[in-house]
Structure 1
Amino acid sequence: MLFSQKDLKKGARGGDKISPTLKRVIVAVIALPPFYLYITKLPPIFFLLLLTTVSVLAQMEFHAMYKTNRLISFSGIISGVILLCLPLIQPSGFSLQTLSFIFPFMLMACTRLFLIKDPSSSLKDISPAVVGFLYIPNLLLAQWHLRLRGYEWILFLYGCVWASDSLAYYIGKGMGKRRLYKEVSPNKTIAGAFGSVIGGMLSALLLGKLMMDNIAFYVLIAMGIAIGSITIVGDLIESMFKRDAGVKDSGSFIPGHGGILDKIDGALFAGPLLYWITLIL
């Protein structure tokens, strides 16, 4: 039986018509097939378009959490778009990496300078835009480089992150008693963290054998453990920001599931880590 009687009863209570378990399954059934086809059947440039769209939406959520001035928020979002699109061009003079960080800061700082004449609280005003830029498009950029190495790496990344999240949720919910980091996220448990590592390891072995036969068994295990561990860290970091901002979810883009940032928090950190591993390999 796919859903327990407990799930169905919980879903039938007033207000929340669908239990969290049902919601996770429904979202997975709806989202995974088109995501798979989008990644595997379309050229890499379409994945960059997807990353840019996700970056814009996630930054909007982040700025809304901190009530960032709209024009400063816009400059941060535009900076993120520029960062993600820069790999498509070959700039002369400055290196790509240097240019991608100098111009965005100049844009955000100049926006604050000419938007508000009073210099007091200027650092406080631009900080969410700067942090949002470093946190979201900057970390997402690693996934573009992974995609250039082959769509298998994107499927591997999100498969491992999804399995880590899922096992962390179910093991933590069923067996978790000791809190992992109650000051940041009271609902996360040590058992859930172990579940994340186990989920990453098992999915890495399965996906690796299906798509990457040339990678050794022990390397896949190490990759899975690393992704499962960093996924928990990424989740905690987003929880830290949300608790600081005094919000429960980053947004309401996905009904019952929170915002875009809630869905990609683990992948934001797992992407760069996996890319660094591929450089070693």
Structure 2
Amino acid sequence: MEPTAGKQEPVTDEADPRWQEPASEAAVVHPRAPTPRMPEKKRWRPSNLILRLITAVILIPPLIWACYAGGMPYVGVVIAIIFVAINEFYDFISQKGAAPHRLLGTVAAAALPLIVFIGDAFYATSFMTAVLLGVMILQLTKAEIRESIASVSATFFGVFYVGWLLSHAVSVRFIHSDLTRRYGEVQTAGIDPEIGFFFMLLCLTAAVLCDTGAYFVGRRYGRHRLAPAISPNKTVEGALGGIVLGALGAVAAKLVFDYLVPGQLSKDFPLLVAAIFGVVVAAMAILGDLVESLLKRDAHLKDAGAILPGVGGVLDRIDSALLAIPVMYYLLLAYYYVHFMA
């Protein structure tokens, strides 16, 4: 029979895979399973708290020694702290668009402790007036008029905030000389000439323990935020715990000093007064911390610097002291005024 019309014979095409013979099983390449990776060992990194403790252990002993030694070694330490802190301040305030006169501001701020040491608070006040005039005159020499207000304000505020406030550390340390100038040698004859060392010890103990107490009490019992827009992690409970611990620290400093130097403070500076000073200083320490947090938040910064592990910058470490020390000085002036006038 003839093949049916229209019926076509199948045409093979070697290129068509349908007509190719399947490859042998040995020729088939199976994808290799990925080699399992060995789990990486986690590197131990010290926590922020441990770094803070290590930094404190390293820095506190030489600072206490300088405070005890007094004189130019102590003034030199205060100048060095101011030098670093004000440059950190000018660094982060520049991020807000201000152009502070850094050289003038740094020299002026660093000179304040020396002026207080050589003279007194009157000379320091006169010097601050001269600094303000100098900043304005320097700004007049600039060809650029824009941002003049920001430049003058940033420069002078840095000198005031860091230099002027921290120069009170010299005033407190040498409070005996200040009182002698004010009331005469007869009135101050019964006061130990090195009494300023005790007052600095009391102030710093209250401020540091307040910071420590606020941290731990806040973490454990903190429920109500103290200033959520400025520092969300700070709580009312933490602040109260810090103030209580700061007051206890001031009392402890008084007891330790009385033990080491019997009879020097027992009569004129009782425990109750030490506790009151501790409460006020601790409250000012919290306020000083909040002030710096406000400035950093405005500049969108977490830390003012990175020189101190676990802490940040020098300004981050001394922020509480910037208000606590000046208030301590004026409390002492008021206390001794009442004491001598009574």
SS in 2 for 1:213: coil
Where does residue 202 of structure 1 map in the other structure?
A: 248
In structure 1, distance between residues paired with 2:327 and 2:42: 42
In structure 1, distance between residues paired with 2:51 and 2:123: 42
CA contact (8 A) 1:76 1:130 kept: yes
Where does residue 66 of structure 1 map in the other structure?
A: 93
Where does residue 175 of structure 1 map in the other structure?
A: 221
What's the Cα RMSD here? 2.0
Q: State the Cα deviation string for residues 123-155 of structure 1 (Å, max 9, x = none).
A: 012221111111111111211011113211211
In structure 2, distance between residues paired with 1:103 and 1:13: 57
Bigger Cα Rg: 2
The equivalent position to 2:54 in structure 1, one of 26, 29, 39, is 26
CA contact (8 A) 2:219 2:238 kept: yes
The equivalent position to 2:331 in structure 1, one of 252, 277, 281, is 277
Deviation for aligned residue 1:98: 4.4
Q: Which amino acid aligns with 2:110?
A: V
Where does residue 25 of structure 2 map in the other structure?
A: none
Considering fraction of residues, name the structure with more helix.
1
The equivalent position to 2:134 in structure 1, one of 94, 101, 107, is 107
Residue 213 (1) aligns with residue 266 (2): yes
CA contact (8 A) 2:116 2:171 kept: no
* CA distance 1:113–1:159, shift in 2 (3 Å): same
CA contact (8 A) 2:217 2:237 kept: yes
Residue 164 (1) aligns with residue 224 (2): no
Where does residue 288 of structure 2 map in the other structure?
A: 234
CA contact (8 A) 1:39 1:151 kept: yes
Deviation for aligned residue 1:180: 0.4
TM-score, normalising length: structure 2? 0.72
SS in 2 for 1:66: helix
In structure 1, distance between residues paired with 2:65 and 2:111: 27
Q: State the Cα deviation string for residues 228-249 of structure 1 (Å, max 9, x = none).
A: 1111100000001001111100
Where does residue 118 of structure 1 map in the other structure?
A: 144
In structure 2, distance between residues paired with 1:90 and 1:141: 12
Segments of structure 1 that go 5 or more residues without pairing to the other structure are: 1-11
CA contact (8 A) 2:52 2:310 kept: no
Residue 253 (1) aligns with residue 279 (2): no
Q: State the Cα deviation string for residues 66-113 of structure 1 (Å, max 9, x = none).
A: 11536x11111111123222234459xxx5244212211122222222
SS in 2 for 1:133: helix
SS in 2 for 1:180: strand
Within 5 Å, which residues of 2 pair with 1:23-172? Answer: 23-40=51-68, 42-67=69-94, 68-69=98-99, 72-89=101-118, 96-114=123-141, 116-149=142-175, 150-172=196-218
CA contact (8 A) 2:115 2:124 kept: no
Q: State the Cα deviation string for residues 9-63 of structure 1 (Å, max 9, x = none).
A: xxx976x8111221232222222222222222x2322111111111111110000
Q: Which amino acid aligns with 1:201?
A: A
Where does residue 36 of structure 2 map in the other structure?
A: none
In structure 1, distance between residues paired with 2:291 and 2:103: 23
TM-score, normalising length: structure 1? 0.87
CA contact (8 A) 1:161 1:231 kept: yes
* CA distance 1:266–1:90, shift in 2 (3 Å): closer
In structure 1, distance between residues paired with 2:115 and 2:171: 12
Worse overlay, 222-231 or 204-213: 204-213
The number of residues matched between the two structures is 263
CA contact (8 A) 2:93 2:154 kept: yes
Q: Which amino acid aligns with 1:174?
A: R
* CA distance 1:34–1:240, shift in 2 (3 Å): same
Deviation for aligned residue 1:274: 0.8
User: Which consecutive aligned stretches of 4+ in structure 1 deviate over 4 angstroms post-superposition?
Assistant: 88-91
Identity of aligned residues (%): 27
In structure 2, distance between residues paired with 1:268 and 1:31: 18
